[in-house]
């Protein structure tokens, strides 16, 4: 999964306009997931294997969600267009897992979407959002998010930046 995190963090999200194609890591990951699930498909008729199949889909969705947030947290520059592409990439990758495993994993989708939505916060909303999400995301993920937000908010002053760096 380190490769997925690295691929996400290496993706370009400081776009000037919306891209029509998804990020390259999406196609690679989708092929890997397809290969994984296709090996289990013939065994799925058995009840226990079917339950295992569902559990594997849930675990994979959870791990991929965490990898996406971790990868997004490592991005150094991001624009509004890039944030929109993040959402599209996340939706596409999680939808691929849901399609292959034939189940929905809304909690994992929410985990990623909430993090991406935080990139749109206004300066006065940041502190409360971080406080309310400090048990959900890692300190590193939160601090990276705040650093990007402080770069994007032109009015943020030095005192406010120092407050969030602690």
Predicted confidence pLDDT, tens digits, the chain (166 residues): 789 999 999 998 988 887 778 888 999 999 999 998 888 777 777 777 778 878 888 999 999 999 999 999 999 888 889 989 999 999 999 999 999 888 888 889 999 999 999 998 888 888 899 999 999 999 999 999 998 888 776 655 555 555 655 5
For residues 87 and 57, state if they share a domain.
Answer: yes
Host domain of residue 146? 122-166
Return the pLDDT at 166.
55
Return the pLDDT at 52.
81
For residues 115 and 135, state if they share a domain.
Answer: no
Would you call 81 exposed, middle or buried from its count of C-beta atoms within 10 A (0-12, 13-18, 19+)?
middle
For residues 77 and 154, state if they share a domain.
Answer: no
User: What's the token pair of residue 58?
Assistant: 């849930």
Q: How many structural domains compose the chain?
A: 2
Query: What is 115-137 written as a DSSP string?
Result: HHHHTT--GGGHHHHHHHHTTTS
Q: Which residue from 155, 74, 156, 154 is spatially nearest to 115, judged by alpha carbons?
A: 74
Return the pLDDT at 20.
75
For residues 29 and 11, state if they share a domain.
Answer: yes
Helix H segments across 14-79?
24-40, 47-73
For residues 53 and 69, state if they share a domain.
Answer: yes
């Amino acid at each position: 999964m380190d490769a997925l995190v690295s691929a996400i963090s290496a993706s370009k999200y400081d776009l000037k306009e919306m891209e029509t194609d998804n990020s390259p890591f999406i196609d690679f990951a989708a092929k890997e997931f397809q290969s994984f699930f296709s090996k289990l498909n013939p065994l799925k008729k058995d009840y226990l294997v079917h339950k295992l199949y569902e559990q594997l889909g849930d675990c994979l969705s959870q791990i991929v969600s965490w990898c996406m947030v971790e990868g997004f947290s490592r991005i150094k520059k991001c624009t509004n267009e890039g944030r929109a592409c993040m959402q599209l990439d996340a939706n596409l990758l999680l939808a691929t897992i849901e399609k292959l495993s034939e189940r929905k994993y809304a909690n994992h989708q929410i985990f990623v979407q909430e993090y991406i939505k935080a990139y749109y916060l206004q300066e006065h909303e940041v502190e409360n959002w971080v406080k309310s999400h400090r048990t959900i995301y890692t300190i590193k993920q939160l601090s990276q998010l705040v650093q990007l937000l402080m770069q994007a908010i032109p009015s943020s002053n030095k005192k406010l930046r120092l407050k969030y760096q602690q």
